[in-house]
Every structure is written in structure tokens, then in C-alpha cells.
Structure 1
Amino acid sequence: MPEHPMLEKTNRINLLFDFYSELLTEKQRTFLSCYFHDDYSLGEIASEFSISRQAVYEHIKRAELMLEEYERKLRLLAKHEQRTDCLNRLEDLLGEASPDLRSKAAPLLEKMRLVD
């Protein structure tokens, strides 16, 4: 069953945020965190920061566009997903290997998972 589009978008923004948050302004980080991590509404964020709901929306929308632009240029999330897929496939293959090979490869596989 496919994910709900809003949940899919939230998951993507959260992943992009993990990679690129330090490239955003403090205000963009704060608003994205409140909206996507803490599940605040636009109105709640607006009230908390004494600005209009529209201003919050514009900050969040601009930050989302910046995250997507960083990903388009740097592809950190895409590379992470490719590495994860390769590591999972390697782990599956090692499951079919001899116990000796599995025990030798396990520390290296774990070290590779910690790279990200």
C-alpha cells in the first residue's frame, strides 16, 4: 500500500532537513522543525513567534524549496539511499555465505552503516 502523499512529503522534508539543515537560516530551521518535527500548525507557529500565518507559510515554503535545491545540486539524500540499498543487498548476500565469511564481513558492514 503506497504512503499517504502528505506523509511521504513529511518524510522527505525530514530527511532533507537532516542533511541540509545547517545551510538554512535559523528562522527556517526553527519553523521547519516546529512544522515537520513537532507537528505544530501554521497558526500555532504564527502565534508563538508573533507573525502572520502567511509569513510562516512563506518561510516554510521557501525553506522547502531551498532543501530541494540543495538536494538537486549535492544529491546527499540520493547517495545515502543508494548506499543503504547496496548495504542491505550486501547483507542479504552475506546471509548466504559461510559463517567464517559472515563473521569477517560483519564488522566492516557495521562500520559502513555508521559512515552516514
Structure 2
Amino acid sequence: MNEILEQALLYDFYGELLTSHQKEIYEQFILEDLSLGEIAGDAGISRQGVHDLIKRCNRTLQGYEDKLHLVEKFLAIKGKLHDINRILDEYEAAGDNAGKLVADIRKISDEIIEEL
């Protein structure tokens, strides 16, 4: 998984556990894609201060994931749901006469994906 996606997922799951100042800076860097200099200018701190804060946030969020594994579980469930959809596609393509069953399972699978 690429680093930006991983950081965004960690923030989605554990971001509320950061202080408001940390959340503000981290959101600007990860979600808004602002540079260290832009963030430093807005926050009135040095580029190095922004860099250190982002590194500290990354370590904190990764520490939560190491203990709770919520992102790992989320990605595993999402992968299994995609497998269900792939199998349903194959079943549907085989021309079996269970279209209603396939449609019902696909609907439930899609609802779970949307909730995740």
C-alpha cells in the first residue's frame, strides 16, 4: 500500500486521538497536500517544527494501529468482500439460474463495502 494512502487510513481510524493542533497540521500535510513551508507559514512555526510534528503524529498513529489493528482488519474485510463479488461475477457468467440469490448477496456485499 502506498505511504500516503496508509497515512490517510491511519488518520481516518485514529485521527481523533490526536490533539487539535496535531490534527490541524497533519490534515494540512496529508489531506490537503500542503508543503512544510506553507504549513509553517500558516501555523507560525518552523519547517523543522512541522516536520517533527508530522513524524511524531505518524509514530503515534502507527502505534495505535500496532496495538488495535483496525486498519488491518478493515482492509482484510474489504478484500474478502471483493472476493465475494468476484465469485458472484463468475457464478453469474456461468449462466446459472440463481440470479435473485446472486443479486441479494451482491446487494448485501455492496452495503458492507459502503459502510466500510
Helix, strand or coil at the partner of 1:51: coil
Alignment partner of 1:67 is 2:61: yes
Q: How does 1:26-65 map to 2 (within 5 A)?
A: 26-65=20-59
Q: 1:85: Cα distance to partner? A: 0.6
Structure 1 or 2, whichever has the larger Rg, is 2
Partner of 1:103: 103
1:45 shift after superposition: 0.8
- Percent same amino acid among aligned pairs? 33
Letter in 2 for 1:84: K
* Counterpart in the other structure of 2:95: none
Q: Does structure 1 residue 85 correspond to structure 2 residue 79?
A: yes
* Alpha-carbon distance between aligned partners in 1 of 2:41 and 2:59, rounded to the nearest angstrom: 24
Shift of 1:9: 1.4
**Separation of aligned partners in 2, 1:77 and 1:26:** 22
Please state how far the C-alpha of 1:114 moved relative to its aligned partner: 3.0
SS in 1 for 2:115: coil
> In structure 2, what is the Cα distance between the partners aligned to 1:108 and 1:26?
37
Which amino acid letter does the alignment assign opposite residue 111 of structure 1?
E
The TM-score, its normalising length taken from structure 2, stands at: 0.87
Tell me the SS of whatever aligns to 1:36. Answer: helix
- Give the letter for the 2:34 counterpart: Y
Instruction: Give how far 1:96 is off.
Output: 2.7
1: distance between equivalents of 2:6 and 2:103? 35
RMSD: 1.4
How many pairs are equivalent?
110
- Whichever residue aligns with residue 105 of structure 1, its letter is I
